[in-house]
């Protein structure tokens, strides 16, 4: 299954996720579905400005497969 969503979070807001104090991220997809996945998968998209963009989360049988930035 593929889920599309947008993220706009500052570096300061992402800090607890980056430090591992918060393990999971919950996002609302463009279809209005709430999806939870491990925050560590967003780390590679962190810049000095935070994390911004549109993403695609791929799952199979409710298990994480991949996260990619769409734009």
Strand partners, 25: 37
d(CA 66, CA 62): 12
For 10-34, the pLDDT digits (tens) are 999 999 988 989 999 999 999 999 9
Report the 10 Å Cβ neighbour count for 39.
Answer: 19
d(CA 33, CA 64): 16
Boundaries of every domain in the chain: 2-69
pLDDT > 90? residue 46? yes
pLDDT of residue 55: 98
3 state SS of 23? coil
Contact between 3 and 55 under an 8 Å Cβ cutoff? The reply is no
pLDDT > 90? residue 3? yes
Tokens of 67: 């996260």
pLDDT > 90? residue 45? yes
pLDDT > 80? residue 71? no
Average confidence (pLDDT) over 36-61 = 95
């Amino acid at each position: 299954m593929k889920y599309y969503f947008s993220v706009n979070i500052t570096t300061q807001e992402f800090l607890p996720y980056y430090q591992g104090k918060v393990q999971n991220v919950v996002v609302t997809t463009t279809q209005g579905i709430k999806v939870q996945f491990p925050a560590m998968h967003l780390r590679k998209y962190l810049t000095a400005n935070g994390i911004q963009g549109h993403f695609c989360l791929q799952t199979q049988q409710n298990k994480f497969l991949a996260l990619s930035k769409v734009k």
